[in-house]
């Protein structure tokens, strides 16, 4: 049956994919570019699901695409019912892709769950830590040619368990050859240091072992990234880890990493927030169009000319920012690479300057703790504790890729302060999308905050494309060799 499905996909011209925990569609987009068409998507978040529909329904043949919400309430049979007029259930889908919720696995997610529940290790009891079991059910019922599951690196160290290995063993029992590894998005042309675990399974009927894409962009990763130790024999997953691959294979020709400055090169600077007339409460439409600058490079051209998502020189949307007047001067003065401790140091200098100025103007000393003193302090210094998240603020370096974009981007954007001190702001919605490698014509549904959350949660499309391209090459070779 598997070989028949593969032959059918070759005659059809594309492989049919189902995207579980799809988000707005970062995985679907990368796979689409590699010759896979999404025919079904499951995503519980309404804005993200609407984004997926907006971008992918138009790319499918009529009646070949549906989107559903809660995977716990949608059976595999229901998810492919629209394709079953001429197919049995296990004939409908060739590839399963997706990334189950990572909050219970990730370090930031764990800390938040502890805080909410008032108990350390409460993440072990989070329902989201078992959502990958629904993924396995879809594999068992739909019998795809192959699957690709993505998650955070901590999936290999969850309450003393290697969930990636457990998943691999379960999938092996279902008839799949499975391997997993850590990949960093910067290796594949994404202007961002983002590492993720990828678990790939290919049905044993094809007699091939899953392969991972060769690295096309070189970059010396900083301390703190597990992928900085790739190729050194250090296994980043708890034992057992028999299906783990220590991946560090380069292309014959490699390129320099794409930097934040490269990524933003043709996006116009933003200064309107600094004139004092625009601030909180002023509506910002993510759909407002902006014009490109004439500066271009390979990366900006890729974002403007992504197949089926070409901008055609018509400008772009989403170049909108949050208004945080208290912080503009902090942003301006912070050093590149500066984080929250540096932000507080900068804010305190600004505070003492304003305090001295107020004392000169009034002709008297403003005493500490008075209402006047507190008013000046609050106008300059952020209220967040300094002992929790030192990277709550970070000012990007222009000549390096950005650090990992978090889903928390939807609540504030302090983790990615623009490197241009004159603009004195956090990155815009479109800039965030550029750092994730979403093309400019990709549409995000909802207001700015939900859109930023979708971007922070997504798999970078260029990373997904590299994985998908290698997968298609592997299974195509299997067909040719037999």
- Is residue 281 scored above 80 in pLDDT? no
Counting residues of the chain whose pLDDT is more than 70, the rounded percentage is: 91
What is the reported pLDDT for 121?
Answer: 40
Between the alpha carbon of residue 435 and those of residues 11, 189, 191, 238, 429, the distances in Å are 36, 10, 5, 31, 10
- Is residue 235 scored above 80 in pLDDT? yes
Tokens for 394, please give them. 């970070």
- Is residue 447 scored above 60 in pLDDT? yes
What is the reported pLDDT for 117?
Answer: 39
Tokens for 403, please give them. 């650090």
Which of 94-103, 120-129, 206-215, 311-320 tops mean pLDDT? Answer: 206-215
Mean pLDDT of 15-38: 98
In angstroms, the CA 195 to CA 169 distance is: 23
Q: Which of 83, 19, 96 is nearest to 51 (CA)?
A: 19
What is the reported pLDDT for 482?
Answer: 56
The whole-angstrom distance between residue 164's C-alpha and the CA centroid of its chain comes to 19
What is the reported pLDDT for 420?
Answer: 98
Tokens for 169, please give them. 């063993």
Distance, first Cα to last Cα, the chain: 14
CATH number listed for the domain at residues 2-258+460-480 = 3.40.50.150
Widest CA span of the chain, in angstroms?
A: 90
Whether 92 is catalytic:
no
pLDDT, tens digit (0-9, with 9 covering 90-100), for 90-118: 899 999 999 998 444 444 433 432 243 34
Q: Quick check: bond before 327 cis, omega within 30?
A: no
- Is residue 127 scored above 80 in pLDDT? no
- Is residue 412 scored above 50 in pLDDT? yes
Q: Is residue 380 within 8 Å of 355, Cβ to Cβ? A: no
Query: Beta-carbon neighbour count of residue 275 at 10 Å?
Result: 7
Any residues with CB less than 8 A from the CB of 47 and at least 6 apart, and which?
Answer: 444, 445, 446, 450, 451, 453, 454
Angle at alpha carbon of residue 405, lines to 329 and 460, rounded to 5°? 140
What is the reported pLDDT for 116?
Answer: 35
Domain ranges of the chain: 2-258+460-480
Mean pLDDT of 153-178: 94
What is the reported pLDDT for 385?
Answer: 87
In angstroms, the CA 30 to CA 118 distance is: 39
- Is residue 126 scored above 60 in pLDDT? no
- Is residue 185 scored above 50 in pLDDT? yes
**Average pLDDT of the chain?**
91
What is the reported pLDDT for 298?
Answer: 98
pLDDT, tens digit (0-9, with 9 covering 90-100), for 70-87: 999 999 999 999 997 667
In angstroms, the CA 425 to CA 325 distance is: 9
- Is residue 15 scored above 70 in pLDDT? yes
Q: Which of 24, 38, 92, 102 is catalytic?
A: 102
In angstroms, the CA 72 to CA 131 distance is: 9
Q: Which of 161, 164, 170 is nearest to 137 (CA)?
A: 170
Mean pLDDT of 391-405: 96
What is the reported pLDDT for 111?
Answer: 41
pLDDT, tens digit (0-9, with 9 covering 90-100), for 292-321: 999 999 999 999 999 999 998 889 999 999
pLDDT, tens digit (0-9, with 9 covering 90-100), for 41-72: 999 999 999 999 999 999 998 889 999 999 99
Place of tokens 């209402």: 371
Tokens for 82, please give them. 């629209």
What is the reported pLDDT for 449?
Answer: 94
Between the alpha carbon of residue 316 and those of residues 32, 191, 264, the distances in Å are 22, 19, 13
305 pairs with which residues across the strands? 310
What is the reported pLDDT for 129?
Answer: 58
- Is residue 280 scored above 90 in pLDDT? no
In this structure, the strands spanning 15-20 and 95-98 are parallel
3-state secondary structure the chain: CHHHHHHHHHHHCCEEEEEECCCCCHHHHHHHHCCEEEEEEECCCHHHHHHHHHHHHHHCCCCCCEEECCHHHCCHHHHCHHHCCCCCHHHCCCEEEECCCCCCCCHHHHHHHHHHHCCCCHHHHCHHHHCHHHHHHHHHHHCCCEEEEEECHHHHCECCECHHHHHHHHHHHCCEEEEEEEEEHHHHCCCECCEEEEEEEEEHHHCCCCCCCCEEEECCCCCCCHHHHCCCCCCCCCCCCCCECCCCCEEEEEEECCCHHHHCCCCCCCCHHHCCCCCCCCCCCCCCEECCCCCCCHHHHHHHEECCEECCCCCEECCCCCCCHHHHHHHHHCCCCCEHHHHHHHHHHHHHHHHHHHHHHHCCCCCCCCHHHHHHHHCCCCCCCCCCCCCCCEECCCCCCECCCCHHHHCCCCCCECCCCCCCCECCHHHHHHHHCCCCCCCCCCCHHHHHHHHHHCCCHHHHHHHHHHHHHHHHHHHHCC
179 against 101, higher pLDDT: 179
What is the reported pLDDT for 120?
Answer: 44
């Amino acid at each position: 049956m598997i070989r028949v499905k593969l032959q059918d996909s070759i005659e059809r011209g594309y492989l049919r994919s189902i995207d579980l925990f799809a988000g707005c569609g970062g995985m679907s987009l990368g796979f689409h570019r590699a010759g896979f068409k999404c025919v079904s998507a499951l995503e519980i978040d309404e804005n993200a699901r609407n984004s997926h529909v907006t971008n992918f329904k138009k790319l499918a043949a009529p009646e070949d695409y549906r989107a559903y919400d809660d995977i716990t309430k949608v059976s595999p049979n229901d998810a492919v019912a629209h394709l079953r007029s001429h197919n049995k259930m296990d004939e409908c889908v060739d590839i399963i892709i997706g990334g189950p919720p990572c909050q219970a696995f990730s370090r930031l997610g764990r800390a938040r769950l502890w805080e909410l529940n008032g108990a350390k290790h409460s993440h072990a009891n989070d329902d989201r830590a078992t959502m990958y079991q629904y993924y396995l059910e879809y594999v068992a019922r739909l019998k795809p040619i192959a699957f690709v599951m993505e998650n955070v690196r901590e999936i290999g160290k969850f309450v003393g368990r290697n969930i990636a290995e457990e998943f691999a063993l379960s999938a092996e029992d279902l008839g799949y050859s499975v391997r997993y590894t850590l990949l960093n998005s910067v290796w594949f042309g994404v202007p961002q240091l983002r590492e993720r675990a990828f678990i790939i399974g290919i049905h044993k009927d094809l007699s091939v072992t899953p392969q991972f894409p060769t690295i096309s962009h070189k970059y010396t990763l900083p301390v703190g990234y597990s992928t900085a130790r790739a190729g050194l024999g250090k296994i980043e997953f708890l034992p057992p880890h028999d299906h783990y691959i220590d991946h560090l294979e380069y292309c014959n020709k490699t390129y320099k990493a794409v930097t934040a400055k490269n990524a933003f090169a043709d996006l116009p600077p933003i200064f309107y927030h600094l004139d004092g007339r625009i601030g909180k409460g002023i509506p910002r439409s993510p759909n407002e169009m902006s014009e490109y600058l004439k500066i271009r490079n390979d990366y900006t051209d890729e974002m403007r000319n992504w197949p089926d998502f070409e901008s055609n020189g018509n400008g772009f949307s989403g170049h909108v920012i949050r208004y945080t007047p208290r912080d503009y001067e902090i942003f301006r003065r912070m050093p590149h690479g500066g984080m929250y401790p540096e932000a507080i140091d900068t804010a305190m200098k600004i505070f003492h300057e304003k305090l001295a100025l107020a004392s000169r103007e009034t002709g008297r000393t403003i005493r500490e703790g008075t209402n006047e003193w507190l008013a000046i302090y609050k106008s300059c210094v952020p209220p967040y504790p300094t002992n929790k998240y030192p990277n709550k603020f970070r000012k990007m370096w222009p000549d390096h890729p950005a650090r990992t974009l978090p889903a928390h981007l939807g609540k504030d954007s302090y983790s990615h302060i623009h490197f241009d001190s004159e603009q004195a702001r956090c990155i815009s919605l479109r800039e965030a999308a550029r750092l994730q490698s979403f093309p400019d014509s990709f549409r995000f549904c909802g207001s700015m905050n939900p859109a930023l959350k979708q971007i922070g949660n997504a798999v970078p499309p260029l990373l997904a494309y590299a994985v998908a391209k290698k997968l298609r090459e592997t299974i195509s070779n299997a067909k040719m060799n037999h």
